[in-house]
Amino acid sequence: MFTSGATESINLVIQGSNKIDNTSKIKPRIGVLPVEHKAVLDTCYALAKKGLAEIINLQVDSKGRLDINHLEEVCTSGLSLLFGGGHQKGQRSGTLNVPGIVGLGEACRLRLLEMEKDENAIALLRDKLQSLLLDKIPGLTVNGDINSRLSGNLHISIPDVPNSAIIARVRHQLAISTGAACSSGVETPSHVLTAMGLGGR
């Protein structure tokens, strides 16, 4: 199904699946990771608030990885799996964005040809930057699972240094941010970092 973007897709999948499950009159139990995208969390909690679903908060470790033992415990008592809400026909009205769909297909084709080389090169640059930062900044911590992450991902904490000060010094040299774009302007700690036990950093 082609939609306008991630938020609409997330809502269609979760709410569409919930609608299908509710034909049995049994309230579905949906397992949600606390490190999920905010659109996933907001949609699931909205269903729970309406009494349409029971939300089970799954657990993650300090690196943001799913606690498999907890998942197994939850699954033994029954847990809904989310499926798509059906075909596009009848699910999302309106004329399809044909140029966008064709463009996506071509972009995927080109990315497949270049991805392995690009990702390796980006990872090398990331690792070089990480080594330099660890060598030059006392107390710096690399957050998350350093063995299972995107090539361009480097998430760090520097004790006793305000985020704003760091951004001001390096924003013209690095693509850097203190949070996700979907949470811009929000003063509360990141829900992802909080789930990892890093909310106070």
Q: What is the pLDDT along the chain (201 residues), one digit of tens a residue?
A: 777 788 888 888 888 766 655 556 677 788 888 888 888 999 999 989 988 888 888 888 888 888 888 888 888 776 675 444 444 555 565 667 788 888 989 999 999 999 999 999 999 999 999 999 999 989 999 998 888 889 999 998 888 888 888 888 888 888 888 777 666 666 677 888 888 888 655
Q: How many domains does the chain have?
A: 1
Amino acid identity of residue 155, one-letter, is H
Q: What is the secondary structure of 24-89 as a DSSP string? A: GT---EEEE-TTS-HHHHHHHHHHHHTTS-EEEE--B-TTS-B-HHHHHHHHHT--BPP---S-ST
What pLDDT is recorded for position 24? 60
Does the residue 146 lie in any domain? no
The answer to whether residue 182 is catalytic is yes
CA distance 117 to 157: 29
The answer to whether position 166 is within a domain reads no
Q: What angle do CA 44, 62, 79 make, to 5 degrees?
A: 35
In a domain, 42, yes or no: yes
Q: In the prediction, which pLDDT does 127 show?
A: 95
Residue 165 lies in a domain: no
Q: What is the pLDDT of residue 112?
A: 92
Task: Specify the pLDDT at position 19.
Answer: 62
Domain that holds residue 72: 6-77
C-alpha–C-alpha distance, residues 51 and 197, integer Å: 30
**144 backbone φψ class: left, alpha, beta (φ>0; ψ -120 to 50):** left
Domain annotation covers residue 199: no
pLDDT at 125: 95
Q: What is the pTM (predicted TM-score) of this model?
A: 0.62
Establish if 62 belongs to a structural domain.
yes
d(CA 29, CA 121): 42
Return phi, psi of residue 126, to 5°.
-60, -45
Is residue 45 assigned to a domain?
Answer: yes
Q: Is residue 59 part of a domain?
A: yes
Give the integer Cα–Cα distance in Å for 143 and 63.
7
